[in-house]
């Protein structure tokens, strides 16, 4: 440790990251490890988690493969994870579909992972006292559904808006144990989720030009915001939703 301690350091902290097999989750795990954290990597696919693990700095990281929509797997995760200084909940799924084709089964498919599993995991980590006093929880939500309402994005957007709202309630209640809860609210980020094919690569390239900073976000743009919210530097920040959108909301 240096003479002046770095308020952005995650040295000595254990951080659980869901959705750690790709995209924002993988990048957040890597950046948090670069700042000294021990990471517990969670996602369904153990092989892809091993790829993430191989990219981490330092020692002592663990993998817990789990499908968070499976109640037993989720309970088991909470049993196994031990004490946590932070959690970053990135697991999520996209869907592009106009409202008139959004029946209940489509809502269930997306809400189950984006909202219900995430809310349930956060609830259990608090109730079972896995989150230690002073811990930080970061939820990855979205500009879509909270600030931007593009056609075809209703289910995904409303699942993320529900999560962003839930974050504020949890922040208020969890303050009793000095546990902070915040969200990062990204706009379009270069991840497998936006390259699903529903929107053509041509349309995506055109869309990128509409950002004041002239590009989509990169996973690390979101990861840097998440590590700030995990770190002691944000000790007085809770219940906030941090916009990371290349200036789209002021365009």
Partner 1 sequence: MEINKFIENFADQLNDTEISEITSTTVFKDLDEWSSLTALSIIAMVDEEYDVILKGDDIRNANTIEDLFNIVSSK
- Which residue shows structure tokens 């916009």? 243
Structure tokens at 206: 């055109």
Active site residue 224: no
Residues in 57-96 that interact with partner 1 by CB under 8 A: 96
Q: Is 105 in the site for partner 1 (CB under 8 A)?
A: no
Q: Site size for partner 1, by CB under 8 A?
A: 14
Nearer to partner 1, 166 or 248 (CB): 248
Residues paired with residue 180 on neighbouring β-strands, in sequence order: 136
Cβ 155 to partner 1 shortest distance, Å: 12
Q: Is 197 in the site for partner 1 (CB under 8 A)?
A: yes
How many Å apart are CA 247 and CA 236, to the nearest integer?
25
Among 5, 76, 178, 203, binds partner 1 (CB under 8 A): 203
Structure tokens at 25: 């989750």
Nearest CA among 220, 223, 226 for reference residue 240? 226
Among 4, 192, 200, 250, binds partner 1 (CB under 8 A): 200
Nearest CA among 147, 143, 132 for reference residue 221? 143
Among 7, 50, 58, 101, binds partner 1 (CB under 8 A): 101
Nearer to partner 1, 132 or 204 (CB): 204
Q: Side by side, which strands form the sheet with 241-244? A: 62-65, 38-43, 14-18, 84-89, 131-140, 180-186, 241-244
HSE, side-chain direction, 13 A CA sphere, residue 207: 15
Interaction pattern, residues 154-193, with partner 1; x per rule: CB under 8 A: ----------------------------------------
Binding footprint of partner 1 on the chain (CB under 8 A): 96-98, 100-101, 151-152, 197-203
């Amino acid at each position: 440790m240096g003479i002046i301690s770095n308020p952005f350091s995650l040295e000595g902290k254990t951080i659980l990251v869901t959705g750690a097999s790709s995209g924002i989750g993988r990048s957040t795990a890597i950046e948090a490890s670069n700042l000294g954290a021990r990471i517990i990597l969670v996602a369904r696919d153990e092989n892809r988690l091993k790829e993430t693990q191989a990219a981490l700095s330092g020692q002592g990281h663990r993998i817990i493969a789990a499908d968070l929509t499976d109640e037993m797997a989720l309970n088991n995760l909470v049993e196994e994870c031990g004490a946590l200084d932070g959690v970053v909940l990135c697991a999520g799924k996209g869907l592009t579909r106009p409202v008139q084709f959004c029946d209940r089964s489509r809502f269930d498919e997306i809400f189950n992972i984006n909202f219900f599993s995430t809310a349930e995991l956060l609830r259990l980590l608090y109730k079972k006292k896995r989150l230690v006093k002073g811990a930080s929880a970061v939820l990855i939500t979205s500009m879509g559904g909270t600030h931007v309402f593009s056609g075809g994005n209703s289910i995904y957007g409303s699942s993320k808006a529900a999560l962003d709202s839930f974050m504020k309630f949890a922040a208020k209640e969890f303050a009793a144990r000095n546990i902070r809860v915040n969200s990062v609210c990204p706009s379009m980020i270069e991840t497998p989720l936006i390259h699903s094919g529903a929107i053509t690569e041509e349309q995506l390239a055109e869309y990128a030009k509409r950002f004041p900073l002239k590009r989509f976000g990169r996973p690390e743009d979101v990861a840097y915001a998440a590590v700030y919210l995990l770190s002691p530097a944000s000790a007085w920040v809770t219940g906030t939703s941090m916009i990371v959108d290349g200036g789209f909301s002021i365009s």
